[in-house]
Amino acid sequence: MLKNDLLLRTLRGEATERTPVWMMRQAGRYLPDYRKLKEKYSFFERCQRPELAAGITIQPVDQVGVDAAIIFSDILVVPQAMGMEVQMVENKGPILPDPIKQYSDLHKLHRPDVEEKLGYVFDALRLTKKELDGRVPLIGFAGAPWTLLCYMVQGKGSKTFDEAKAFCYTQPETAHALLQMITDTTIAYLKGQVRAGADVVQIFDSWGGLLSPGDFENLSLRYIRQIVAALKEEVLTIIFAKGAWHGLSAMAATGADGLGIDWCHTPESARNWAGPDITLQGNFDPAKLLSPIPVIRKEVTEMLNAFGGRRHIANLGHGILPNVPVDHARAFVDTVKDHQYR
């Protein structure tokens, strides 16, 4: 039994005594205890050793007071489990040295047995669940197929992911075969996360905003829709497609329980497009946590009032930045917890 199930009730559309709050990337570099572990263990050691991943996952629950834990991991564990090499290069981001460029490259990939290849994530979820002891719900996650394709084809981060797009435009059949392989793997992976104790799963489409509305539907949303449909009966789902403002009402129609929104929406415009029957999550500008604390308090209060306290999960509009002081993160969380709606 959960002692704090605000997040789950809000996703189900139930009225709650206050607005739940968590922060994307809350288990991360702005926390000194995380940075200490980072000095000692490589990125994938931190993901793969359940006691490290569980400890990192719980840090922001203990230290910042968020209403949910999100498992410490990375979206690129899925391409890795499918057979690709993924290197995490400090201050440079991920490198996939042998990217997918043509149809014959798909033979390098396989649909993995997720228990075998990604069992360490499930172990971390089980251990976290045990250590949380019902304090807050636990969120699992995966990357959206389009975002994973971006890395698998481009081979590294990019402002435009032009090579990934060119791959889709010049070899659409290969692109769709790859997207379907990623989708199938992701469904199996997320079902495993649910079996291991995830109360909610979030799908991160970090690069959905690079696509035109037509391409977003064709290359991203149709696969997200499959994932949501496959998970719908088992778990609460949240979609977050950064920058894909035009897709909000189509995303709401997938049957997901929640939609992450970034700070380019006003709460009013987001609600208007998404309709009344879905929970909205967001949308504080992460850079605004670099403001003085009184400014943070004032702007968080304005955001909360604009969302109006119904079907809203307070969060940032993207991941917390590594240079945010911990007391600023706490001011964000505390302002939400103390808020009285007018």
Tell me if residue 221 falls in helix, strand or coil.
helix
Pairing label, strands 200-205, 312-316? unpaired
Among positions 160-219, residues that touch a second copy (CB under 8 A) are 160-162, 165-166, 169-170, 209, 211-213, 215
The yes or no reply on residue 285 touching a second copy (CB under 8 A) is: yes
Q: Which residues share a beta bridge with 240?
A: 204, 260
- Per the structure block, which two tokens stand in for 71? 């498992």
**Shortest separation between residue 241's beta carbon and a second copy, angstroms:** 12
Please classify residue 229 by burial: count the beta carbons closer than 10 Å to its beta carbon, then call 0-12 exposed, 13-18 middle and 19+ buried: middle
The yes or no reply on residue 246 touching a second copy (CB under 8 A) is: yes
- Per the structure block, which two tokens stand in for 314? 């307070």
Q: Is the preceding peptide bond at 283 cis, omega within 30 degrees of 0?
A: yes
**Shortest separation between residue 285's beta carbon and a second copy, angstroms:** 6
- Per the structure block, which two tokens stand in for 92? 């440079």
From 29-37, 114-122, 154-162, 331-339, give the range in contact with a second copy by CB under 8 A: 154-162
Q: Which residues share a beta bridge with 91?
A: none
Residue type (1 letter), 18: R
The yes or no reply on residue 293 touching a second copy (CB under 8 A) is: no
Of 36, 4, 32, give the one whose Cα is nearest residue 17: 4
**Shortest separation between residue 172's beta carbon and a second copy, angstroms:** 9
The yes or no reply on residue 323 touching a second copy (CB under 8 A) is: yes
**Shortest separation between residue 154's beta carbon and a second copy, angstroms:** 11
**Shortest separation between residue 288's beta carbon and a second copy, angstroms:** 6
**Shortest separation between residue 72's beta carbon and a second copy, angstroms:** 22
Cα separation, 79 vs 164, whole angstroms: 15
Return the number of the residue (42 or 160) whose C-beta is nearest a second copy. Answer: 160
Query: Can you tell me which of 52, 250, 295, 326 binds a second copy, judged by CB under 8 A?
Result: 295
The yes or no reply on residue 287 touching a second copy (CB under 8 A) is: yes
Return the number of the residue (138 or 270) whose C-beta is nearest a second copy. Answer: 270
Among positions 257-276, residues that touch a second copy (CB under 8 A) are 263-266, 269
CB within 8 A of 37, min separation 6: which ones?
Answer: 46, 52, 55, 56
The yes or no reply on residue 286 touching a second copy (CB under 8 A) is: yes
The yes or no reply on residue 32 touching a second copy (CB under 8 A) is: no
**Shortest separation between residue 239's beta carbon and a second copy, angstroms:** 17
From 63-71, 98-106, 252-260, 286-294, give the range in contact with a second copy by CB under 8 A: 286-294
Return the number of the residue (230 or 264) whose C-beta is nearest a second copy. Answer: 264
**Shortest separation between residue 225's beta carbon and a second copy, angstroms:** 20
Query: Can you tell me which of 32, 275, 276, 292 binds a second copy, judged by CB under 8 A?
Result: 292
CB within 8 A of 282, min separation 6: which ones?
Answer: 260, 261, 262, 263, 265, 270, 313, 315, 316, 317
Q: What is the DSSP string of 85-135?
A: --EEETTTEEE-SS---SGGGGGG-----HHHHSHHHHHHHHHHHHHHTTS
Contact status, residue 240 vs residue 205, Cβ threshold 8 Å: yes
Q: List Cα–Cα distances, 3 to 8, 68, 136, in angstroms.
A: 12, 11, 7
**Shortest separation between residue 232's beta carbon and a second copy, angstroms:** 28
> Contacts with a second copy: how many residues (CB under 8 A)?
32
Q: Using CB under 8 A, list all residues that contact a second copy.
A: 159-162, 165-166, 169-170, 209, 211-213, 215, 243-246, 263-266, 269, 285-288, 290-292, 295, 321, 323
